[in-house]
Structure 1
Amino acid sequence: MCAMARPRKPLLSRDRIVATAGTLVDAEGLAALSTRRLAAELGVSGPSLYNHFRTKDEILDAVADTVSAKVDLSMFAPDDPRDWRTALHDWAVSYRAALTDHPNLVPLLAQGPGRRPAGLKVADAVFGAMVRAGWPPAQATRIGALMRYFITGSALGSFARGFVNDEDAYDPADYPHLGQAHLLAERGEQVDEGAFETGLRALLDGLAMQYEAGIRGTWPKQDSTNGS
């Protein structure tokens, strides 16, 4: 019996489609992704994609969910010894790291999880951990929203790299306090990570003050039940 010849190209699969789409978005941005372009990158006909995904938006959702799946959620496990504040801090650092690895996907992820399974697991883990820690459900919901605003906002762009590496661009006659601004771009990662950590600790300090007030019995009345 003759052995069946092996296909010249790898068989099309959901994983291969998502991986190729992710590489394309990382390299060229969300606008570069179309079913025609993706099919060409995969070496297949456009209609063959629809055997795995109904629309381009479904493909984008799957790509975005691969980023959410990289976020560490171990600190929210019921048996993890970290307190709620430390857990939020460690999760935020992991979340931002996942986003900064894929900056072109941040605008999509900033819209929320929708129906994406990994994204929903992130939201569920944060909310559940805050409620277990003693936060009222309504406030736990707000904390999840607040953290997403802060983390995705920090990953949308670089403050430091918004300045040009040209000393002449910042004439002290016009900008007397920007004499060192031309150095920011080359120190971008250090500046941006430091800014994120400073903001995160300030945010957590504020939440800790609210938490202590709540433990003393002064939660706002509207925070006693779930909802907004």
Structure 2
Amino acid sequence: MARPRNPLLSRERIVAAALELVDTEGLTALSTRRLAAVLGVSGPSLYNHFATKEQLMDAVVDEVVGEVDLSMWESVDTDGWAGPVTAWARSYRAALVAHPNLVPVLAQGPGRRANSLRLADAVFGGLVDAGWARGDATRIGALMRYFVYGSALGSFAGGFVDDQEIYAAEYPHLGQAHLLAEHRRSVDEGAFETGLTALVEGLSRQYPHPRRPTPGPSAAPSAAPPTGPRPRP
């Protein structure tokens, strides 16, 4: 039999093409018709793998979340929570910076996406294992997500144009703003690192000693003798 002119479709190939389309042209560019044209297939053939566009988008987003390193959460104790938080935030941001057009979708929450739920489980579990109360762990996880998403959503330095005359006349404190775009990466990464350090150190001061998890009801009772006077018979 002759080989098909186009490679057979697979979920992996569809997701990769959709991700590239979103990366290069934005979320609005992703449609069944456009994706089918990129893949060189008919539109209905995509429905053999994804029943809806929402299912396809979930798969694309989860592919990106799967790039985030979670290994730092595998072993956490009360003396070492700051390191895993810092390493995870850096890995998370790196994945999002590589695909900034997906950040608005990611910000909606994990939904039913497997990698996204695995990430939430690892972070929450790691913080609880480190001794944080469950409510505090939830708030810290949310706080870090807000910070990482915001830092990946856009470029502060890239928001200024390379034209000194725009700023010189009316904005005296922005006399060097036209140079920011030239140093976009260092400015944006420096701002992220400054904020990350401030958040972690602030949490350390606010909660200097996370309490260790309380032993469950099955824990063995202490063998130490009771203190104080013995009751009289």
**TM-score of the two chains, using structure 1 as the length reference:** 0.89
Instruction: Quote how far apart the aligned CAs of 1:211 are.
Output: 2.2
Partner of 2:32: 35
Q: Does 2:190 correspond to 1:187? A: no
Q: Contact between 1:35 and 1:46, CA under 8 Å: does it hold in 2? A: yes
Q: Contact between 1:39 and 1:46, CA under 8 Å: does it hold in 2? A: yes
Could you tell me how far apart the structure 2 residues matched to 1:80 and 1:185 are? 41
Residue 65 and residue 80 in structure 1: after superposition, are their counterparts in 2 closer, same or farther (change >3 A)? farther
Partner of 1:211: 207
Could you tell me how far apart the structure 1 residues matched to 2:183 and 2:86 are? 24
Partner of 2:7: 10
> What stretches of structure 2 of length at least 5 have no aligned partner?
213-233
CA-based RMSD of the aligned residues comes to 1.8
Identity of aligned residues (%): 67
1:49-198 counterparts in 2 under 5 A?
49-78=46-75, 83-171=80-168, 173-198=169-194
Q: Does 2:193 correspond to 1:202? A: no
Could you tell me how far apart the structure 1 residues matched to 2:74 and 2:105 are? 27
Residue 214 and residue 7 in structure 1: after superposition, are their counterparts in 2 closer, same or farther (change >3 A)? closer
Partner of 1:222: none
Q: Contact between 1:75 and 1:90, CA under 8 Å: does it hold in 2? A: yes
Which protein has the larger Cα radius of gyration, Structure 1 or Structure 2? Answer: 2
- Range that drifts further, 204-213 or 77-86: 77-86
Q: Contact between 1:75 and 1:82, CA under 8 Å: does it hold in 2? A: no
Give, as a single letter, the amino acid of the residue that structure 2 aligns with 1:35.
T
Give, as a single letter, the amino acid of the residue that structure 2 aligns with 1:208.
S
**TM-score of the two chains, using structure 2 as the length reference:** 0.87
TM-superposition CA deviations, 1:30-87 (whole Å, max 9, x none): 0000011111111111111111111011111101111100001010012799811011
> What stretches of structure 1 of length at least 5 have no aligned partner?
217-228
Instruction: Quote how far apart the aligned CAs of 1:214 are.
Output: 5.0
Could you tell me how far apart the structure 2 residues matched to 1:176 and 1:215 are? 50
Q: Contact between 2:77 and 2:131, CA under 8 Å: does it hold in 1? A: no
Q: Contact between 1:64 and 1:105, CA under 8 Å: does it hold in 2? A: yes
Number of aligned residue pairs: give it.
Answer: 212
Could you tell me how far apart the structure 1 residues matched to 2:206 and 2:78 are? 22
Runs (4+) of structure 1 exceeding 3 A deviation are 79-82, 213-216
Instruction: Quote how far apart the aligned CAs of 1:5 are.
Output: 2.1
